[in-house]
Amino acid sequence: MPVDVVLDGGWRVSASVLAVDDDHVELGPVDGPLALPGGLRWCPATITWKTKVGAGNRHGILIPSEEGRLVLHPHGKPLRIQRRRYVRVPAELTAAVIGENGRLITRTVDVSVGGMLVEDAEELSLSEEVRFALDLGTVTISGTGKVVRGTGDGARGLAFESLQGRAERALSRFIAERQRAMLRGEDDGPAG
């Protein structure tokens, strides 16, 4: 797997992951041997890699090893970074969607301030304009949206075009609370 290696001073190189263990990540060369600049014997560094929804990174101490390799001794757990415009959180919420082919009652897979992914929605067509209502538990929000993507298992991604009343604020609050619960480890699965 290719990764970018960035030293705290800004020096950057591409590498490939050779081995991963709980206490180290061994990095091999992509184009020639790997070595720390200026004869450094160790340096704080971060490795980053692409994921399906953005990027991940791992910070630690980088040490040269034999045969043109580097070893990162990580601190903490890997971080995932979303590159989407809005943060998504997993959530199983009841959603009613009204499109060209009638009304659909379904569940969300995830939500953000910009949209939601709903399951079992094969009847919704790409680019279809829809109206929706989403039950956040304490409040139900509504608005209009557009189907922007589909998955092989019948889920559909809806981008919100307008949210009624104070819906955006209520949704933002729901997402923030969900993120805090996930960070505290109180998340046993999608909220609903």
pLDDT on residue 192: 52
Segments making up each domain of the chain, as ranges: 2-82, 89-183
Q: What is the domain class of 2-82 according to CATH?
A: mainly beta
Please report the pLDDT score of residue 76 as a whole number: 77
122-180 pLDDT, tens per residue?
999 999 999 999 999 999 999 999 999 998 899 999 999 999 888 989 999 999 898 88
What does the pLDDT read at residue 191?
A: 52
Q: How far apart are CA 116 and CA 61, in angstroms?
A: 39
Give 51 or 119, the one with higher predicted confidence: 119
Amino acid identity of residue 97, one-letter, is: V
Q: Which residues of 110-146 are buried (b: 16+ CB within 10 A; e: fewer)?
A: bbbbbbbbbbebeebeeebebebbbebeeeebebebe
Angstrom distance (rounded) from CA 178 to CA 186 = 9
Domain 89-183 class, CATH top level: mainly beta
What does the pLDDT read at residue 88? Answer: 82
pLDDT by residue (tens digit) across 20-59? 888 899 998 887 778 888 888 999 998 888 766 567 788 8
Please state the φ and ψ torsions of residue 96, each to the nearest 5 degrees.
Answer: -110, 125
Least confident of 88-92, 107-111, 115-119, 188-192: 188-192
Specify the pLDDT at position 179. Answer: 85
Q: Do domains 2-82 and 89-183 have the same CATH topology?
A: yes
Give me the mean pLDDT over the 95-123 stretch. 94
Higher pLDDT pick, 186 / 10:
10
Is the pLDDT at 119 greater than 90, yes or no? yes
